[in-house]
Chain A
Amino acid sequence: AQRVTQPEKLLSVFKGAPVELKCNYSYSGSPELFWYVQYSRQRLQLLLRHISRESIKGFTADLNKGETSFHLKKPFAQEEDSAMYYCALSEGGGGADGLTFGKGTHLIIQP
């Protein structure tokens, strides 16, 4: 069965410092990976997908199949990045079957 691990419940960094939110997964096939974000008083929303290979709000995430990781990175953190971040895995095929979430990492950016 697939599993998503976010080892850090809470991550606190200073404004302007680099940020890396870790995500490791276990799945035998070709997964599709997502990062979701929930800002204070807002609903959960999709941040980025690995197949898009895009940068959203300065964040990037590269799928490393060798290390089975999909870490979320940003070179210079901003205060508005404070939020809860969830890594999620889908079984591929366009994300139609099965979605497994990590337990989330609460990111706090200190001024």
Chain B
Amino acid sequence: EAQVTQNPRYLITVTGKKLTVTCSQNMNHEYMSWYRQDPGLGLRQIYYSMNVEVTDKGDVPEGYKVSRKEKRNFPLILESPSPNQTSLYFCASSLLGGSNSPLHFGNGTRLTVT
């Protein structure tokens, strides 16, 4: 089954403790992206990747890192999480990244930083 898989679904952590949220897709998509969703703000893009070893900042990249060593995986790394990074995170992928390529979303990761 074609899907985007995020792990974990829920995570509670403390300030400053490094964490990684994984994202994997099995559709051989070139484009992958991370978003966060906050009340009243909708989705905001954190980082995106057009292909392996090609990543770029989105609207709110501060405090986050990503890597794209393989096509299928696009982990989101928080080196030193802070409470303002408490949010709902979505990973998405598409074949080519343009408006002709529908986005496929993961189920989301609910992160709480205390």
Contacts and interface: CB of A to CB of B under 8 A. Distances in A.
Interface residues of B, number: 25
B43 interface: yes
A38 B102 CA distance: 9
Report which residue of B35, B43, B92 has the largest number of chain A beta carbons within 10 angstroms of its beta carbon: B43
Nearest to B92: A44
Contact of B99 (A38, A46, A98, A99): A38
Contact of A36 (B33, B38, B43, B101): B43
B112 to A, nearest CB: 11
A84 B95 CA distance: 14
Contact of B90 (A83, A97, A99): A99
Q: 6 closest pairs, A vs B, by CB? A: A94-B39, A46-B42, A104-B102, A84-B99, A40-B99, A96-B39
Interface of B: 33, 35, 37-43, 45, 48, 58-59, 88, 90, 92, 98-103, 105, 108, 110
10 contacts: A36-B42, A43-B33, A43-B59, A44-B35, A49-B42, A83-B99, A94-B40, A99-B90, A101-B103, A106-B99
Interface of A: 9, 34, 36, 38-44, 46, 49, 82-84, 86, 90, 93-99, 101, 103-104, 106
